[in-house]
Amino acid sequence: HRSSELDGIQDILDEIAAAMASRTDRGKAAGYIPELACVDTGQFAIAVAGVDGQVFCGGDVGTPFSIQSVSKVFTLTLALGKLGDTIWSRVGREPSGNAFNSIMQLEHEKGRPRNPFINAGAITVADLILAGHAPREAIGEIIRFVRFLADDETIAIDEKVARSELDHGDRNASLAHFMRSFGRLDNPVDHVLGVYFHHCALAMTCRQLAVSGLYLAAGGMNPMTGTRVISAERARRINALMLTCGHYDGSGEFAYRVGLPGKSGVGGAILAVAPGKAAIAVWSPGLDPVGNSKLGAEALEMLAQRTGWSVFGA
Ligand code: GLN
């Protein structure tokens, strides 16, 4: 028996999974992407990956789900690795206080999105990763990067979800065209959206997602493989952006209740980071009115209470 931050964590996860199974008010699955609208909201899963390499799970851990906007953490990391801090001339670092797919601020800020986690910002990051290549190559690069993070070659894109987003992507298309009208996108809109919809449609389990986020908890290293993903300084800064912008206009509430850097997606996943301790993935498809997983946030609130992991103190 080794003593660590994760002592007793399995009991806590079992307790959380049991508490979540009995909740009746579970939120609604994302309605605007038909392929997500039909996912059963009765499901819940949680996984905690410790910086010492141990992984603990609870709930429906075998079920892959659409990671959606959680993928924006990985594309931001990839873009920073390729282009460095020059990306900040194209996208800001301030919370938006608006819905994830809002177009309003883009006019005032002449096509420069407030942060890389709202849709407009992530579309800009997709444009940067694309950099004149064919969409297929950029999508391949993103998949390879996420497989490297998860140390799992089986991770794939759910083509049905990607197709469903494309078929119902008028809002994202309008964001992209609007930015391009300010000269803010280098690549054709259909190429950029192809990359964006495909990375949003990555399918993963909670275990895979928690392991993929471990570099953010471990100073930029992946402790499972012993490889450096990014510098400690970059990991710290991505965590800061997740804390301030990771839940859109619900970011303040998430910081208040959970107190961890976190990134949500409309598939119902949240990736949270307890720096120096663990990466946590939760999934439950029912969303709150802002578009963040309802039970996911509740589960993380319970976990933070039980463990004292909030970055603001126990
Ligand atoms: N693919 C989704 C969209 O573009 C991602 C949004 C989200 O997860 N918040 O609308």
The active-site residue, picked from 248, 282, 284, 294, is 248
The reply to whether ligand 1 has any atom less than 6 angstroms from the CB of 101 is yes
Q: Is residue 63 part of a domain?
A: yes
Q: Are residues 63 and 210 in the same domain?
A: yes
Q: Are residues 139 and 164 in the same domain?
A: yes
Q: Is 212 a catalytic residue?
A: no
Give the H/E segment covering residue 144. Answer: helix 135-150
Interface ipTM > 0.95: yes
Q: Are residues 138 and 32 in the same domain?
A: no
Q: Are residues 238 and 291 in the same domain?
A: yes
pLDDT for res 1:
45
Q: Are residues 108 and 41 in the same domain?
A: no
284 is in an annotated binding site: no
Residue among 16, 10, 11, 9 at smallest CA distance from 299: 16
How far is 44 from 3, CA to CA, in rounded Å? Answer: 28
Q: Is residue 170 part of a domain?
A: yes
Question: Residue 201: which region, alpha, beta or left (left: phi > 0; alpha: psi -120 to 50)?
Answer: alpha
On the question of pLDDT at 104 being above 80, the answer is yes
The active-site residue, picked from 39, 48, 66, 69, is 69
Q: Are residues 64 and 75 in the same domain?
A: no
pLDDT for res 314:
81
Q: pLDDT for 158-209, tens place per residue? A: 999 999 999 999 999 999 999 999 999 999 999 999 999 999 999 999 999 9
Q: Are residues 81 and 146 in the same domain?
A: yes
Q: Are residues 217 and 233 in the same domain?
A: yes
Atom of ligand 1 nearest to the CA of 265: 8
Q: Is residue 185 part of a domain?
A: yes
3-state DSSP assignment of residue 203: strand
Q: Are residues 124 and 100 in the same domain?
A: yes
Model confidence, pTM: 0.97
Q: What is the CATH number of the domain that holds 31?
A: 3.40.710.10
Atom of ligand 1 nearest to the CA of 69: 8
Q: What separation in Å is there between the alpha carbon of 218 and the centre of ligand 1?
A: 27
172 is in an annotated binding site: yes
Which of 119, 158, 245, 247, when mutated, tests ligand 1's pocket best, judged by the most ligand atoms within 8 Å of its CB?
Answer: 119
pLDDT for res 5:
82
Q: Is residue 314 part of a domain?
A: no
Q: Are residues 194 and 78 in the same domain?
A: yes
Q: Are residues 283 and 186 in the same domain?
A: no
Q: Are residues 107 and 157 in the same domain?
A: yes
Parent domain of 167: 71-200
The domain total for the chain is 2
